[in-house]
Structure formats: structure tokens, C-alpha cells
Chain A
Amino acid sequence: MNDQSNNLLEMRGITKYFPGVVANSDVDFDVRYGEVHTLLGENGAGKSTLVKILFGLYQADKGDLLLRGEKMEISSPSDAISSRIGMIHQHFMLVPTLTVAENVALGMPSTRRPLTDLDKVSKRISEISEEHGLTVNPSETVAHLSVGERQRVEIIKALYRDAELLVLDEPTAVLTPKEVDDLFVILRRMADNGRGLIFISHKLREVMSLSDRITVLRNGQVVGATTPDQTSREELAQMMVGRAVRLTPDLPPNEVKESRLSLNNVSVKNDSGTLAVDNVSFEVRAGEILGIAGVSGNGQREIAEAIAGLRTIEPDGLIEINGSNVSDTNTRSRRDQGLGFIPEERVPDGAIPEFTVGENLILVDHETDDFVSRGLFSFDKISEHSSQLVSDFNVKTPSVNTPTSSLSGGNIQKVILARELSASPSVLLACQPTRGVDIGAAEYIHNRLIEQRELGTATLLISEDLDEVLGLSDRVAVMYEGKVIAVVSGEDAEREKVGLLMAGVTETVDA
């Protein structure tokens, strides 16, 4: 079983065309028994396409697939599952209204046909849980589980189907640093038992720590294959992007001035009416970046929406922008006070995808005299203004009249950034500014945020990317279960310490 000389999987010369794009071009990729082989690449590099072909969700236009040395045709997920291929998708493939056992049993033959055999399934789940250290209650409804628990259910689903080749598509995106460590222990043990794992990620730190081998894709082609001990994060980033990139931004010293944004005892409810932000107070001063670190779902979204004016706060709280109370005002008047807002969801919150680049660039100011004369749009002015922004902010678009939806995520983000920064905000609320954008675009956005800091903008940066928060922030506030449980200065913010705080561990911080 542990015959290292044999490949569990071999993909040879895989080519896949989509209308107008070559998603995979002559890709060779293999996985040995007992190893973790990482597929690394930017968004759109072809990683997902390749594993979707493996899992039968797409069909390759060219190329061969060999499983355990034999040529295979995999034309549907059922084929893949019966060939003992398991896939853990980036977005959980769970039915929230069903129990853990029902989710695991779904699609499997029952011993009590036509009835389900959930008792048996639950028993087997408990065995798998014990064997692999994946604690979860089989009769619990998935909607009640934490993100980490859902991840475990996904792995149990694959193990229940006796998967020997396991594909993990960005499995760490929603986990705390601690949960990531736990997951890696489990994954490593699974590999040691002889399984083959394909790990897809763009988080270089994780790739370096988990992988046995690394294959880098760019523009649908394999651009390099290496191992962690022969490479570095910087070199991997260079392979992914095709040029040298600086991974951690340099934060030059800067003069911090008066308070621009202040929150006093702010509490906010989420959509289901429970308290998502619990009595939070902080201030952001001119010329500083305050970063909020935290695992997704700890109140960051709600606090951002409260500051932007999209969500009402509880009565005894106070939000001030440039000294004036904006607690009960709408988004427009907050913008008039100098607030710029980069929302978490690029589309549809930040830009309207059906609109052209030019239209999205004037979306906030479209009623002002700059773009309207005698009640009608002045298209010359709009086009002049937006062309200027497109070139200033390096937006890659055929023209300002291109529909925004046809741009890449990174370029849409630059459109939003251009619109918000061109208004010279005195307070900037930046939520997940580089999520899902290319390393190159992320580097650009980081530099722009630092430039704003030098211009004296007060920036509140909310991000799930811990490296981003640590690299860009003068001060780091950690949110956990709706509270700011610690504020540490940028220089003192060590990765491990902040990681523990994100998991709610405060005791060891002083040690």
C-alpha cells in the first residue's frame, strides 16, 4: 500500500478550453501514495479547473488520467467517488438543515432500502471520528455547527466513502490559526496512512508547512515544481506572479494626529437579532491604520456595516466621524463627513457588475454638478474623469465602457479603490480589501493604503488575512465573539500571540 515508487494519480497533458480561455494547457500532475502534493497558483491559474476535471465536474478536452496505474474516464462525481476520490470543496458542500449523519449518508446506498439507515451511519461516523480525531456529534443539525466542525464533517464524508485520494480546495480559508494547526495534524496523519492528498492554496505559509511537493500553476500552465526545503515563500510568490513581489509591506514611520473616527459603547445586532457587536469602543486617528483581526463571523461584518451606516446600532452607542455624531445618519451624510468605504463583498456591495467601469467610478458622485448638466449626464466629463482614474489606479480594462462584470476580481477591487480614494476620504473603512485578488493587485492595494496613511487618512482595516493585518497596521484590535478583547501595537503584534487572541485565548498573552 505504501509503495512510494507508484503513483496513485497521474494526469498527463490535461488541456481544457472555456470560451475564449485556455483554463489548463498541457498540465502534468501526479500524486504518490502517502504524500501531500500542493497545487499553488493565483485565482484563475487553473487549479480548480484541474481538480474539477479529476472529480468529474468538468471533462478535459485533451489529456489522460491514470488512477493506480490504470487509465480512467471520470465523467461524474459518482464515478470519482466510486474510484475512491474525495473532494473537500472551498465552499462547504453541506445541507445545513440536515443532520451530520444525513449529510454523510446522502448519495450512499442504504442497507435498509428504501428507508435510510442513519443508526448505522452514525455508528460508523463515531468510529471514523475516533480513529482520526475528528470530534463531531452525528445527530446534530449542521446549521448549528461551527465552521471548524463543518470542516470536520466534510472530511468525515470523504473518509466514510473510503477516499484514498483526497482533494482539499482551500480548506483553511475560514479557519482560525489554531484550527488550521489541528487540521494539518489530521491531514498529515491521513497521508502517513498511505492516502494521497492534493492541497490547493495560495497561502504560502501553509503551503510551506504542509506540503511534501509543490506544483505551481500560472495562466493554466505548470511553471514550476519544487519541495518546501528547496524553496522559499518569496520564490513561490515569484513563480505564481511571474515577477518579484514583496510579500510583507513596509510600514514607514508616520505622524499620528487627531482622532477622526471614534466608537463609544457600540453594540450591533446581526440579521437574526442576536448581539453581534457587544459594547465596542475604539478610535482611529489621522495617519494611522487600525487593523481588526479576527476569525470571520466574530462581529467584523456587523461593525463595518454599522460604521458605514448600513446597520443601525443599539441606542446607547455613539459613532463619531470628525467629531460629529453620525450614529443615526444615513450613508450619504456619513460620506459627506469624509467617510470612504470599501465593502467586504466587492460585488454586489461595492460595484454593480452590470454597469460599466465608468458608471461604477462615478457611482457615489453621480448626482453632483461634476457629472450632470441641466439634469442630464455629461458623458464627456464622466469619460474624462473615469479614464483618468483607470490610468491612475492601473485598472486593466479594455475601456471605461466595458461592463464591470468582465473584469477580474483584482481589477474590480481597483475600480472601487479608485472611486473611494479619489474622493480624498478623511476616514477610510477598508473591509477585506485584498480577499480573492491576485498577489500583484494585493501588493498594489497595500501600497495605496500606505500612501493614504501618509496623506493623513484614518484607516480602519478589517481583514481575515492575518498577515495583511499585521503587515499594515499601526495598531491591531482583535475581535472575538463581538468584543474587542485586546488592542496591541503593531510592533508588539506577534503572529502567534494574535492567533491565540483570535481563538479567544487571553491568559497567555502577558507571559
Chain B
Amino acid sequence: MSDFFTSSVLVATFASAIRLATPYLLASLGETIGQRSGVLNLGVDGVMLLSAFFSYWTVLQTGNLWLAVVVALAVGIIMGVLYGIITVFFEATQGISGIGIFIFGLGFSDLMFRQQVGTPKPVQRLPSVDIPVLADIPYIGEPLFQRSLLTYLAFALVPLTFLLLNKTTFGLNIRSVGENPQAADSLGVSVERTRFAAILIGNSLAGLAGAALVLQLGIFQPNLTQGMGFIAVALVYFGAWRPLGVMGGALLYGLVNATVLQWKSLGIIPVSISDLAGMAPAIVTIGALILLARRVNAPAALTKPFSRH
């Protein structure tokens, strides 16, 4: 255990926590925006799998990482359009539609991988970009300021999401259609358009989350996410639908994950129970959700399709 409490190991653990938190944070911020508009998307994991595969494939074919990110974004937007049509225009039940999107994403990414790639081949990873001066600060320079652009983007999106939701007219529309769509409708705010836009933003961020995941690992395999998208949905509840709270959840999750990985490699956790220890992050999340369950206020119209009649 004493091996763990050395400054180099702690810094490395913290750095890996930030890295691991990135895909969760991107996906949860997107899901937060969607849920604040009243739309639950349980398909996040499927969208992440699809975007992860297609951005991996793009790197395999072209070697261009930034093209891979653009492709992931495009996959997110396409899935957003699909989910928007299903839930907003056909007013389908959101829970089951999201599960459908997940199963589609899981199956289709698997199929494409087997058809087009077969055996996993590593690709180049997202380079880390040092921020001048700050990157050289002892202890915190490495974890915070020697990261990839997608990580910087994810954390920059926390205040931006806050501003979007609380300080813009679009954010006011999002919050009102998530709480009382009839009221918004009576004032001429288009519930359909607002929700559709929120779904598109949410799915775009899920797409970026997929890219962040695969391009940090540098490799793809079937079911790469192993339920990360579902954790991202849970983190929205954990964070009480607020960007800062969601970030706290993503960081906690990243930290528990990183610690477990570190302990495994240091032998603190014996190999015989290492699979069991892999459950720790999920248990921490469930525990936190139970503790926080009483104080949270979900958007009143969450999961409720809107129609005038």
C-alpha cells in the first residue's frame, strides 16, 4: 500500500483519472442538456460504440486523427436525428427507444468491426498538448495541463453548458420544455424544435465521447464501452442535472477507476479478485446515488412525450 502513496504514483493516478473521466464527462454533459429538455436518452452507450468504431476505422484507413473526431461527431448527429424523429415526432416511449438505439449501436459496431477489421490493431492515440508554463507546474502540471484537446474541450464545456442552460434564451427554452412543455407551447416556444436541438447536442457530445474513448486507448474491440454510456446517464442523476455536479460525478468515477487500475498494477489488489474490484466504480456510483436520491429534482416533464391533444 505504501507504494501507492508516493508522489509519482499519485500524480500518475490523478492524471489517469482525468483521462478516464473525459468520455464520461462529454457524454454526461450532453445527456444533461437532453434531459433538461425532458428527453431521456438511454442509447448513449450505443452512440458511443458507433462513433468509437467509426473514428477508429477512420484512423485505420487514413491515419488522420482529426478526421476521426469529425466522423465521430457526424455519427453522433446522425444518431441524434434518428432519436429525435423517434421520440419527438413519433412521441415514442423514451426508455425503450433508447434501449433500441443501444442495441443497434452494440450490434452494428460489432458487425462492422468483424466485417471490416477482424482482429484488433492498435492505431495512433490522441497526442497530449502541453499548455505553456502551466504544464511545468510540479504535481498538477502533468494531470491537468498535459492532456489531449478533447479533455480540454470536455472540461471547458462544463462552464459553457452552465451558461447555455442558465444565461441564454435557448437555455431558458430548454429548461421550460423540460419542466412544463404546455406552458412553453402557450408562449409560442416550439417544444418539438427545442427538444430536437437538445437531442442533437446531446448525441453530438456522446459521439465525441466515443472518439475520446477510442482515441485515448488507441484500439477498438467489440463492446468497447462496457456500459460507460449507461454510467454517463447515471452521472446526470448523480450531478442533479447540473454541469458542475455532473463533472464531480465524472471525476469521482474516473478517480475510483484509476485507483483500482493502479492498485491492480501495484499488486495491492490480488489478481484473484481483480475482476471483482472492477465493480468498485459501479458500487461507488450506486451508493452515492442512494445517498443523494432524496435531494434531487428531476425535470418535471422528463420522459414525457409532448402533444397538444
Residues of A within 8 A of B (CB): 55, 57, 76-78, 81, 87, 89, 91-98, 102-103, 105-110, 113-116, 157
In residues 168-200 of chain B, which contact A (Cβ within 8 Å)?
Answer: 168-173, 175-176, 179-180, 182-189
Distance of A272 from chain B, by nearest CB (Å) = 12
Across the interface, which residues of B come within 8 angstroms of A87, CB to CB?
186
B182, B184, B300: the one within 8 Å of A107 (CB): B184
Closest to A55 in B: B186
| Consensus secondary structure, chain B interface | helix
Considering the chains assembled together, what is the distance between the CA atoms of A108 and B176 in angstroms? Answer: 13
Considering the chains assembled together, what is the distance between the CA atoms of A81 and B308 in angstroms? Answer: 17
Distance of B252 from chain A, by nearest CB (Å) = 26
Considering the chains assembled together, what is the distance between the CA atoms of A113 and B169 in angstroms? Answer: 7
Asked whether any CB of chain A lies closer than 8 Å to the CB of B297, the reply is yes
- Known interface pairs A81-B187, A94-B183, A95-B183; A115-B175 also in contact (CB < 8 Å): no
Asked whether any CB of chain A lies closer than 8 Å to the CB of B167, the reply is yes
Distance of B261 from chain A, by nearest CB (Å) = 40
Report 11 cross-chain contacts, Cβ distance below 8 Å, ordered by A residue: A55-B186, A76-B188, A77-B185, A77-B188, A93-B187, A95-B176, A106-B172, A106-B176, A107-B173, A107-B187, A107-B189
Contact A98 B176 (CB under 8 A): yes
Considering the chains assembled together, what is the distance between the CA atoms of A345 and B45 in angstroms? Answer: 41
Across the interface, which residues of B come within 8 angstroms of A57, CB to CB?
186, 308
Across the interface, which residues of A come within 8 angstroms of B167, CB to CB?
115-116
Considering the chains assembled together, what is the distance between the CA atoms of A476 and B184 in angstroms? Answer: 41
Contact B169 A114 (CB under 8 A): yes
Distance of A21 from chain B, by nearest CB (Å) = 13
Contact A93 B172 (CB under 8 A): no
B168, B175, B186: the one within 8 Å of A93 (CB): B186
Across the interface, which residues of B come within 8 angstroms of A89, CB to CB?
186
Across the interface, which residues of B come within 8 angstroms of A94, CB to CB?
180, 183
Considering the chains assembled together, what is the distance between the CA atoms of A144 and B117 in angstroms? Answer: 59
Contact A78 B180 (CB under 8 A): no
In residues 158-172 of chain B, which contact A (Cβ within 8 Å)?
Answer: 167-172
Contact A115 B179 (CB under 8 A): no
Across the interface, which residues of A come within 8 angstroms of B186, CB to CB?
55, 57, 77, 87, 89, 93
Distance of A161 from chain B, by nearest CB (Å) = 8
20 new A-B contacts at CB < 8 Å, known A96-B180, A105-B172, A107-B187 = A55-B186, A77-B185, A93-B187, A94-B180, A95-B179, A95-B183, A96-B179, A97-B179, A97-B297, A98-B176, A106-B173, A106-B189, A107-B173, A107-B188, A107-B189, A109-B169, A114-B169, A115-B168, A116-B169, A116-B171
Closest to A104 in B: B187
